[in-house]
Amino acid sequence: QVDLLSLESTMVFHTLTRFNDPVLCASFRGDGRMLVAGDAGGKTHIFDLRSHALMRIFGVHSHAVRPCHSVCARVLLPHASAAAQVHVARFSADGARVFTASDDARAICWDVAAEAQVRTFEGHCDRVRSGRINPASADLFFTGALHGPRAALPPSARRSPPASRKLAIPLPSPG
C-alpha cells in the first residue's frame, strides 16, 4: 500500500491499496495530480490522486538470465517465471512518459497515454536499483545497478570507495 501523509499534521489522509504485492517505490508527477508506484511483483501502477482511481497498470518486468557483454560475464537472476521487483518508477517532466527499472537488469520507458513500451534498455549486468529522468530533457536519464561479482577481482585490483571531499566550486541556482 501507499500512504499519503500530510507534513503539517503528520497524519495519513489517504491510503492507496490496489496492490497485490508490496510497493517498493513511488513518485509524484510534476503537477502533483498523479502518482506512479512500482511493486515487488514487477508491475507499475499509475493513480489519479484527486479521485484515487487506478488509471494504468504497466506490464511486468520479469527475470531472465541473459548474456552480458561486459566484465561481469553473465546476469545471475532467479527463475525465468519470477517477476522482477520494480525499484524505480518515475514520470518524465511533461508527465507523458514513465521510466521504470528493476531486478531484471532492464530499464523501460513507457508512453502513459498509449499504455505501451517506448523503449527497453538492456545491458546492465545486475539489478537496476536507481534511476532518474533529467527534468530538463526527457531524452536523458541515468540508471545505477548493483555490480557483478566482486569476488572475480583479485585483491590487488579492488579499490576502496573514494573519500568524500568538498570542492570550492559554486553551484548554479535553479531557475
Give pLDDT tens digits for 129-171.
Answer: 888 888 887 677 778 777 643 333 334 444 444 455 556 666 6
52, three cell numbers: 484515487
Measured between alpha carbons, how far is 99 from 44 in angstroms, rounded to an integer?
10
Q: What pLDDT score was predicted for residue 29?
A: 95
pLDDT in tens, 14-47: 999 999 999 999 999 999 999 999 999 999 999 9
Q: Which residue has the higher pLDDT, 6 or 75?
A: 6
Q: What pLDDT score was predicted for residue 20?
A: 92
3-state secondary structure (DSSP) of residue 146: coil
Residue with cell 520479469: 62
119, three cell numbers: 523503449
Q: What pLDDT score was predicted for residue 59?
A: 80
pLDDT in tens, 97-107: 999 998 888 88
Confidence of residue 122 (pLDDT cuts 50, 70, 90): confident
Q: What is the DSSP string of 76-139?
A: --S-TTSBPPEEEEEE-TTSSEEEEEETTS-EEEEETTTTEEEEEE---SS-EEEEEEETTEEE
Mean pLDDT, residues 85-96: 92
| Cβ 47 vs Cβ 39: under 8 Å | no
Mean pLDDT, residues 84-107: 90
Mean pLDDT, residues 92-120: 90
Measured between alpha carbons, how far is 48 from 55 in angstroms, rounded to an integer?
7
pLDDT in tens, 50-74: 999 999 999 877 765 444 444 444 4
